[in-house]
Amino acid sequence: MSETLSENRPAPLLRISQRHLETLQTCPRQFQHVFLDRLEPPISSQQQESMAVGSRFHLLMQQRSLGLPVESLVDADPQIRQWWDEFLAATPELLASQGGELAFRQAEHERTLEMLGFLLVVRYDFILADDRAQIFDWKTYPRPRSPQNLENHWQTRLYSYVLAETSDYEPDRISMTYWFVPGEDNCPQSYSFPYSQQQHDRNRADLTRLLSQLHHWLSDYSCDQVFPTQQELTGVCTLCPSGNCRYLPQGDTPPESLRKRDFSLEETDWSNLDRIPEIPI
């Protein structure tokens, strides 16, 4: 009886984050190599240190939002101390220990949304909600020069979309703000992006298209077919220095151990958010 019940359980959903969407949209073959073939090159020691410092800053912000003492975290790292002092000076109202009685304040707030057989997963660095819902994200690298690239990035799009779909907030009452620590001249800087119904409709359409394509490509991949490259889809490759996709010519196939796998079953670890490093936008 227990075996029969086990066989009838619904298959776990593949968890999709903003990084998966951004990679898939940029180059499906890169998505395959990074998330399915596990061929992403190892990160350098400098990148590892940068990620470690960024993680410590995120932990600091989380502890502060919970009302826990942060002195030990701040004093343990001169870099964190400098960022913390500058951020406190720039955003005293945001880091106030208490909001209004009706305000919802939470760090590392995770939400999920099922869509087309996938589970969209977002984790907000900090969210403040009262009459409006404000999403905040901390970045421990300099502010990008182009706010348009940031606005069009899937992190901005997915975070706002999921919140609108899983809460009572209309799109025009949602916003997302990135804080870059450090900014220019070591002064924290921010970009804020209001959301709208028009953006929400566009995000839904693009998500529907991307996830439908992913279903198709995963099915082909389980039968030894590789994902298409950016160059095959658009005629150009913006990822490779030469402008010619390094994944071409065709004929490369997934490693033998990864072939003919059913990605609807027991394949949720490939998208574990805890394993995804912060990558500059």
Lowest mean pLDDT among 18-27, 87-96, 170-179: 87-96
Residue 32 has pLDDT above 50, yes or no: yes
pLDDT score for 31: 93
Whether residue 280 is contained in a domain is answered as no
Buried b vs exposed e over 128-144: b needs ≥16 C-beta within 10 Å?
bbeeebbbbbbbbeebb
Does residue 156 surpass a pLDDT of 90? yes
Q: What is the CATH number of the domain that holds 28?
A: 3.90.320.10
Of residues 95 and 235, more confidently modeled:
235
Which pLDDT belongs to residue 5? Answer: 41
Tell whether 93 is covered by a domain.
yes
Give pLDDT tens digits for 123-143. 999 999 999 999 999 988 877
In a domain, 238, yes or no: yes
**Domain presence at residue 6:** no
Pick the most confident of 61-75, 99-113, 140-154, 224-238: 224-238
Cis peptide bond prior to 10, omega within 30° of 0: no
> Which token pair is 136?
């905040």
Q: Which residue has the higher pLDDT, 82 or 2?
A: 82
**CB-side exposure of 19: number of CA atoms within 13 Å?**
16
What type of residue sits at position 142?
P
pLDDT digits (tens, 9 = 90+) for 77-130: 888 888 888 888 887 677 665 545 557 888 899 999 999 999 999 999 999 999
- On whether residue 263 sits in a domain, the answer given is yes
Q: What's the pLDDT band for 275 if we cut at 50, 70, 90?
A: very low
Query: Tokens at residue 82, please?
Result: 């400098």
pLDDT by residue (tens digit) across 250-265? Answer: 544 444 434 434 443 3
For the beta carbon of residue 260, count every other beta carbon within 10 angstroms: 10
Answer yes or no: is 9 within a domain. no
Angle at 155 between CA 20 and CA 138, to 5 degrees: 120
Predicted pLDDT at 184: 62
Is 78 a domain residue? yes
Counting the structural domains of the chain, the total is 1
Q: Which domain holds residue 83?
A: 15-275
The stretches of the chain forming alpha helices (DSSP H) are: 2-7, 18-26, 28-31, 45-65, 71-75, 78-90, 147-152, 154-165, 197-221, 230-234
pLDDT of residue 205: 98
Choice between 58 and 260, residue whose per-residue pLDDT is larger? 58
Band the pLDDT of 51: cuts 50, 70, 90: confident
- The secondary element (H helix, E strand) that includes residue 190 is strand 189-194
Does residue 8 sit within a domain?
A: no
- Report pLDDT for 53: 81
pLDDT value of residue 63: 85
